[in-house]
Amino acid sequence: MTVQAQEVGEQGTPPRDAWGEALALLETVLEALLRVHDFEVFEVAVGLLERAPLSERERRELLGELYLRRGFAASAAREWLAVCAENPRDVRALSGLARVAERQGMSREARDFALAAQAVQEAAPGVERRAAA
């Protein structure tokens, strides 16, 4: 039995350290599935994120970025809006919403989200790091 196999938790979940490479690979697979529009398999693969040692916020951030990169702006917005529903002062989510609005040609909304993110960051310079934790 390998050391890594011995470290697997009681519920069959590898320790957080072992997930780094696996998460990078999973992100690549998810993006490829979005690229070819294989949404059925994509949904199955998204289920794997539930087993990863990520907070819900981290999962939503990852999905928001994937959706935006692949042109699914509405899906990206849903992920970041869900983060903002939990924490309206999440700088990364507000910035994500600004990028979504910009890509959708919604200049005023993009500016509003960007200004909100900037205001939060200026009010509490370390807030982005805390929001991502």
Give the pLDDT confidence score for residue 86 in this predicted structure.
94
Backbone angles phi, psi at 14, to 5 degrees: -65, 160
CA distance 12 to 6: 10
Residue 64 identity (one-letter amino acid): G
Contacts of 34 (CB under 8 A, 6+ apart): 42, 66, 67, 70, 72
Give the pLDDT confidence score for residue 50 in this predicted structure.
84
DSSP state of 37: T
Per-residue pLDDT tens digits of the chain, which is 133 residues long? 333 333 444 455 555 566 788 888 999 999 999 999 999 999 999 998 888 888 999 999 999 999 999 999 999 999 999 999 999 999 999 999 999 999 999 999 999 999 999 999 888 766 554 444 3
Nearest to 76 by CA among 61, 90, 59: 61
Q: Cα(first)–Cα(last) distance of the chain, in Å?
A: 33
Residue 102 identity (one-letter amino acid): E
Give the pLDDT confidence score for residue 3 in this predicted structure.
36
Give the pLDDT confidence score for residue 77 in this predicted structure.
97
Buried b (16+ CB within 10 A) or exposed e, 92-121: bbbbbbbbbbbeeeeeeebeebbebbeebb
